[in-house]
Amino acid sequence: MPVSRWAPNARERLEDAALELFAENGYEETTVTQIAERANVNRATFFRHFAEKREVLFGGEDLLADLFADGIRAAAPDATLPECLKAALAAAGTVMTARQRAKATQRLQVAATSSEVQERGLLKHARTTGAITAALRERGLSELTARLGAELGMLAFRVAFEGWMKTAGDEPFPSFADAALADLQARIAEYLPPPPTPEA
């Protein structure tokens, strides 16, 4: 029974088809036409969802930027900067599923062989950092404090992500995120202590 061309989950099917084909034949060798065929949709449908081939690898990243920002916006009005970052990572945790982990593994394998994919990943990373910065600015933080917070939040996310990717078990992402954030704060306290207050 053929899957309908108009099935509502075309985007997800395209992502799955692309990762299968990249694994089978290599990223460079795979065409958009092949991805669309495997997903049982036409090329036009591919381009309604993704601007170009490598974008099919990064649908999750665009979503993450929104989740981080939403998490920060939903934090309590008097939340401290670390509390805002914790809220951002917790919001991201909702999409860090076993399926996402499997997809991320494949994406990292493709990125290891393609600098254009690596570079697009860095562009997404920069945009996500920008989204966190903007959400922190909305809370009245200065530009520099917001940038500092965004860099620390993204570092905590990457560290948590790396730990989570290594586990085969069911330990959920938020526990990695909380540990990474606490670990970073401990390093800051140890290696970047406040300058001594001058004596009166």
Closer residue to its own copies in complex, CB, 21/146: 146
Q: Looking at 19-27, 38-46, 92-100, 182-190, which segment touches its own copies (CB under 8 A)? A: 182-190
C-alpha 109/C-alpha 87 separation (Å) is 30
Give DSSP secondary structure letters for 47-74: HHH-SSGGGGG-HHHHHHHHHHHHHHHH
**Does residue 157 contact residue 61 with C-beta atoms inside 8 Å?**
no
**Nearest in space to 84 (alpha carbons), one of 96, 64, 68:** 68
Contact flag: residue 195 with its own copies (CB under 8 A): yes
Closer residue to its own copies in complex, CB, 24/52: 52
Residues 114-153, interacting with its own copies (CB under 8 A): 115-116, 118-120, 122-123, 125-126, 141-142, 144-145, 147-149, 151-152
Long-range contacts of 137-141 (CB under 8 A, 24+ apart): 138/72, 138/73, 139/72, 139/75, 139/84, 141/81
Determine which residue in the list 169, 192, 198, 200 makes contact with its own copies, applying CB under 8 A: 192
Minimal distance, residue 4 CB to its own copies, in Å: 35
**Does residue 71 contact residue 96 with C-beta atoms inside 8 Å?**
no
Q: Contacts with its own copies: how many residues (CB under 8 A)?
A: 36
Dmax over Cα atoms in the chain, in whole Å? 82
Determine which residue in the list 191, 198, 199, 200 makes contact with its own copies, applying CB under 8 A: 191
Give CA 141 to chain center in angstroms: 23
Q: Looking at 23-31, 77-85, 92-100, 165-173, which segment touches its own copies (CB under 8 A)? A: 77-85
Residues 26-65, interacting with its own copies (CB under 8 A): none
Q: Which residues of the shown chain bind its own copies in the complex (CB under 8 A)? A: 80-82, 115-116, 118-120, 122-123, 125-126, 141-142, 144-145, 147-149, 151-152, 155, 159, 183-195
